[in-house]
Amino acid sequence: MSERQHFPRPLVIIGLLSWLLLAVACRGPAVYPTPTTVQMSPSPTVPALPPATAVVPSPTLTTLPSPTPTPLPPATATPTLAPTPPLTPTPVPPSPTPAPSGPRAAIITRLPTSEPVIALTFDCGADPGYAEEILDELARRGIRATFGMTGAWARTNPDLVARMLEEGHDLINHSDTHPSFTGHSTGSAPLAPAERLAELRGAEQAVAALSGSLETMRPFFRPPYGDYDEELLEQLPQSGYTIVVMWTVDSLGWRGIPPEDVVERVKRAVAPGAILLLHVGAQSTDAAALPVLIENLQQAGYRFVTIRDILG
């Protein structure tokens, strides 16, 4: 056998590479077509999308079982009602006619006259004071006056009360112990009806013990402190007192003002039919002012009367 000739492997590889390079060089440069330029229309403006809203997962609904209907009770037949008899209206009795209210005591602050007359009234509610001096002055001038008399004063000074009656002076009821019937001037509670009646009765009984009659002071009443109310005006006639004697001028001598001030105060306010309020007590200056007061009023043409002289 002939022996095959062998070439070294590296030489074979080099030879192959050289042949490939030679073949590529012989073909020349590759020719590529020129790219065509395409005119593109401008892209339309795409509006911006609003931000995405987070998607909240819907709650899972739980299917509730349908309630089982409650069966209705069987219908009951409606009973037949008997016809209602017509109502007979109950006659309403007529409202009773209210009874007319009783008589009401009258209030006077001035005598009902145009004559030049004046009533001197002296309240006797405390101590005897200047009662004797006042009676002497009135007697000397032949003047009669009116005295507001309390039961307590009459019991304490029976001789003076007896003299007043003998000399023709009038007495009017001024209560038994001189309380405020309404409490207005003293800040006390109003007197109950029974207490008011007791005050009236106590005074007239004390005077009746000296005069012999419960009618001596009726129908005139002067309330202590000048305090009265509607209830009292309705109660007084039931006890025989129909006239409440107030005053036109308060001399204020009970305050202890100078006697000359008493005179001037009265002179400024006096008028025909005037009722003067004076006091007999020891603290009053009315007794000291009385002589000059009488002279001034007489010079002005006035004369003096009692309450009963005008009102009967």
Q: Which residues pair with 121 in a beta bridge?
A: 146, 277
169 catalytic, yes or no? no
174 catalytic, yes or no? no
Q: How many CB atoms lie within 10 A of CB 58?
A: 6
Q: What is the DSSP string of 158-176?
A: HHHHHHHHHTT-EEEE--S
CA distances from 33 to 36, 200, 269 (A): 9, 153, 147
Give the gyration radius of the chain's Cα atoms: 64
Instruction: Please state the φ and ψ torsions of residue 285, each to the nearest 5 degrees.
Output: -100, 10
Q: In 3D, which of 119, 152, 178, 133 has the Cα closest to residue 280?
A: 133
Choose, from 123, 170, 176, 286, the residue flagged as catalytic.
123
Choose, from 169, 174, 178, 279, the residue flagged as catalytic.
279
- Whether the upstream peptide bond of residue 65 has omega within 30° of 0, thus cis, is no
Residues known to be catalytic: 123, 279
